[in-house]
Amino acid sequence: MNSISLNEKFAISGFVSIADASPGYPIIQISNSHASASISVHGAQVLSFQPKGEEDLLWVSKTAVFAEGKSVRGGIPICWPWFGTHPDAEMPAHGFARNRFWQLTAVQQDEHGSTEVMLCLEDDEASRLLWPHAFELQLRVSVGKVLSLELTMVNSSKEVVDLTAALHSYFNVGDIAGAAVRGLDGAEYIDALQDSRRFIQLGDVRFDAELDRIYQQTAGDEFIDDDLRGRSIRLQKSGSNSTVVWNPWIAKSSRMDDFEEGGYRRMVCVETGNMGEDVVRLEPDAAHTLGVTISAESARAASV
């Protein structure tokens, strides 16, 4: 993977350039009239999205590692073809798509001044050792006033496959004490910290300890309210009927070398996906698209 050749093929002067975060680890840097953003070709992982006049909506740990085989701690890792741990402990958590270099296939400016980036991943000998099926993944990212991601998964195999997946988004908050996730009131969730027992969400989700929940039957808009910054981040979903909310808090985050000290106070994961009972079953040659649109609005406007 060579950022020099990628630049020659895909750079757009004044809008898109590609440079290495570490040798052989290209990052796509985007700056247009609406926002700036960055996307690593490894894992097709959006790392930042900063609309003009806003602080970055995404969080990345200051001690994140940029190396093949491991997703960057933060941004929007892609969990596929399974979410969470695998029954076989030898298999990587959250699948393998986030741990590999993808192919950058297209970069363009659209008529509204947004920047579109397409990346894809197909099965190969290595992937088939982990998951014995032919597939094609395509991620379309649009960077404009809002950030849109569309992950299309194609079952190129001759078998019926069951998939779980997530756009595992880490959002930037001023301080976790003043953060809340709104839009899940009344939803049933599976609590990963209470032996996967089920509960009903009452009101907004607030944080005062480790929290790790899979909310089911959640297809509507969700909001991350950030009191300190006086803003809300709105999530509009497509192809998703489940949501994970996660904060590792002190003990769990301190056990992760790539999680900066105290970082748990400045982030919350609200993950758009097909998780828990929201399994995607694809017949041969069938496809599914999982999408999220992320935007910032002032908290006052959002509460109207």
Q: Among residues 228, 226, 229, 200, which one has the least CA distance to residue 213?
A: 200
Which pairing describes strands 25-31 and 135-143: parallel, antiparallel, or unpaired? unpaired
| 271 is a catalytic site residue | yes
Looking at residues 98 to 157 of the shown chain, list those that interact with ligand TA6 (rule: CB under 6 A). none
Annotated active-site residue in 150, 222, 260, 271: 271
Q: CB-based contacts of 248: which residues, under 8 Å, 6+ apart?
A: 210, 212, 256, 259, 264
**Can you tell me which residue has the tokens 């609309």?**
51
Site string for ligand TA6, 148-177 (x = CB under 6 A): --------------------x---------
CB of 111 to ligand TA6, least distance (A): 37
Instruction: Output phi, psi for 135, to 5 deg.
Output: -155, 165
Judged by CB under 6 A, the residue of 19, 21, 91, 93 near ligand TA6 is 93
Among positive and negative, which fits the CA dihedral 164, 167, 170, 176?
negative
CB of 28 to ligand TA6, least distance (A): 22
Token representation of residue 19: 């440079």
Indicate whether 86 belongs to the interface with ligand TA6 (CB under 6 A). Answer: no
DSSP code at position 92: P
DSSP code at position 177: G
Judged by CB under 6 A, the residue of 212, 222, 225, 226 near ligand TA6 is 212
Indicate whether 58 belongs to the interface with ligand TA6 (CB under 6 A). Answer: no
CB of 154 to ligand TA6, least distance (A): 25
Indicate whether 84 belongs to the interface with ligand TA6 (CB under 6 A). Answer: yes
Cα–chain-centroid distance for residue 227?
23
Indicate whether 224 belongs to the interface with ligand TA6 (CB under 6 A). Answer: no
DSSP code at position 230: T
CB of 10 to ligand TA6, least distance (A): 28
Among positive and negative, which fits the CA dihedral 144, 23, 68, 285?
positive
Judged by CB under 6 A, the residue of 3, 48, 61, 94 near ligand TA6 is 94
Which lies closer to ligand TA6 via its Cβ, residue 34 or residue 168? 168
Annotated active-site residue in 150, 168, 222, 260: 168
Among positive and negative, which fits the CA dihedral 215, 285, 148, 171?
positive
Site string for ligand TA6, 255-274 (x = CB under 6 A): --------------x-x---
CB of 66 to ligand TA6, least distance (A): 15
Edge-first strand listing for the sheet containing 25-31:
16-22, 25-31, 35-40, 45-51
Residue least distant from ligand TA6 (Cβ): 246
- The residues that touch ligand TA6, with contacts defined as CB under 6 A, are 84, 93-94, 168, 192, 212, 244, 246, 269, 271
Hey, which residues are catalytic here?
168, 271
